[in-house]
Amino acid sequence: MGTRLGVIYTFGILCIFLLIASIALLVTNVFLTVVQNYVKKEVQLRNDTVTFETWKNPPPPIYMQFYFFNVTNPTEVLNGGKPYLEEKGPYTYREYKPKENVTFLDDGEMVSALTSKTYVFVPELSKGNPTTDLIRTVNIPVVTIMNMAKFSSSYILLAEALFTFKGAGLFTTRTVHELLWGYKDPVLSGIHFFKRDVDDYFGLYYKMNGTNDGEYVFLTGQENYKNFTRIVEWRGNNSLDWWTTDTCNMINGTDGTSFHPLVTKNDTLLFFSSDLCRSLYTTFEQELGVKGIRVFRFVLPNEVFANATVNPENAGFCVPVGNCLGSGVLNVSACRQGAPIILSSPHFYQADQKFIDAIEGMHPDKANHETFLDINPLTGLLVRAAKRVQVNVYIEKIKGFMLTLTLQCSCCETPL
């Protein structure tokens, strides 16, 4: 009888526990459903809402940290040696990027806006002074002119004469400020004298401080929460024209500053970057906490910048057609006015080993060189992120140009 009473007593407790658990789960699911429905309704772009104001003028501080590679052995490189690079920086700038000229369209289903970017130097977060620190690096105007003139023997002769007259070489030494925001280049000035539409100033961010990259049209999320801030047009077009396939020319996702609410670990998050001249995608890596806030970390998988032999969908990024440089690099000369610019992750992280081995000073590291997005899954808000890009210059031996004849590599990507 004792055993029977014990079983009945245990069974009674178990029933009560299951009842309480069932009620708790029911309440929890109902509460979760209510929260999700509320988020779907509220996380959309409408006037006089917190969501709209946060999107229009992002409150978290954004910092741009610039690192430069100083070429320590230019003479050896010109004589066929391997480049030795020394990394300098960071030179940190606070970036302000409010949305301007905001206009609602189609009864609030879409909204157009300009994103004006302004950069202010932050000395306490920097190592060095951009106005006095000198960097010896590749002379991009010279390399660009060589690249554009290489198909014409007469243009080669004219370019060689101009280089000689101006005393221009394959390398130049400039301050960080000049390299970023612009300097009057002697070679470009020589061309500008005869061809006025050629600007005689050059800088990696020349005319990009206090300006915008064109008008965007976004979906507000009114019809479908998953379309929150998805781009439908940029500069009046719904696709790009730099690449050789429709897939690569697609403008996908958001601008990378916000995403739809109720993000799951199975989602693939898409965003468009005008800096990289293409759309990208990220996949879930891990769940983290940032100052007590639950976040999902999304990263760029290897196949995003993989060679077309690894990821056939990337064939359209090989320009001209069939000219694939390898995994981990992207030739963006088509959207950089013909300048032979190659983009990659810093220190060629996730790129082919041949790029790392070709230059002394490359030390790829996931923690320091990976692009990631930390997103609150409930709201889709970006809590923390790092977009890391390295600008490289494509240099090749060009018959007729004395500056390239002694280079060790037939072609190479040299980081700035």
Inform me whether the pLDDT recorded for 283 exceeds 90. Answer: yes
* Terminal-to-terminal C-alpha distance of the chain: 86
Please count the other Cβ atoms lying within 10 Å of the Cβ belonging to residue 35: 12
Percent of the chain predicted with pLDDT > 90: 64
pLDDT digits (tens, 9 = 90+) for 286-321: 999 998 999 999 999 999 999 999 999 999 999 888
Q: C-alpha distances in angstroms, 68 versus 36, 71, 168? A: 45, 10, 21
Identify any residues that bridge with 201 across adjacent strands, giving them in sequence order: 184
Cα–Cα distance between 148 and 159 in angstroms, integer? Answer: 10
80-92 mean pLDDT: 93
Cα–Cα distance between 335 and 143 in angstroms, integer? Answer: 16
Amino acid letter for position 300: L
Percent of the chain predicted with pLDDT > 70: 87
pLDDT digits (tens, 9 = 90+) for 4-13: 434 444 444 4
Contact 144, 340 (CB under 8 A): yes
Residues 6+ apart with CB under 8 A from 262: 36, 39, 40, 225, 377, 378, 380
Instruction: Give me the residue label for tokens 């072609």.
Output: 411
Secondary structure of residue 332 in the 3-state scheme:
coil
pLDDT digits (tens, 9 = 90+) for 184-205: 999 999 998 888 888 999 999 9
| Phi, psi at 274, each rounded to 5° | -70, -25
Cα–Cα distance between 346 and 357 in angstroms, integer? Answer: 14
Q: Which of 288, 299, 413 is nearest to 366 (CA)?
A: 299
Contact 99, 114 (CB under 8 A): yes
User: For 238-383, where are the alpha helices, taking DSSP H only?
Assistant: 353-357, 366-369
pTM: 0.86
Burial tier of 384 (Cβ tally within 10 Å: 0-12, 13-18, 19+): middle
Inform me whether the pLDDT recorded for 406 exceeds 70. Answer: no
Mean pLDDT of the chain: 87
Cα–Cα distance between 154 and 150 in angstroms, integer? Answer: 9
pLDDT digits (tens, 9 = 90+) for 360-383: 999 999 999 999 999 999 888 889
Give residue 265's pLDDT: 97
Please count the other Cβ atoms lying within 10 Å of the Cβ belonging to residue 414: 22
Cα–Cα distance between 342 and 351 in angstroms, integer? Answer: 12
Q: Angle at Cα 220 formed by Cα 218 and Cα 225, nearest 5°?
A: 120
For residue 37 the two structure tokens come to 């429905």
Q: Which of 118, 336, 273 is nearest to 211 (CA)?
A: 118
Q: Which of 115, 121, 110 is nearest to 57 (CA)?
A: 115
Q: C-alpha distances in angstroms, 371 versus 7, 210, 387? A: 58, 25, 5
Cα–Cα distance between 403 and 405 in angstroms, integer? Answer: 6
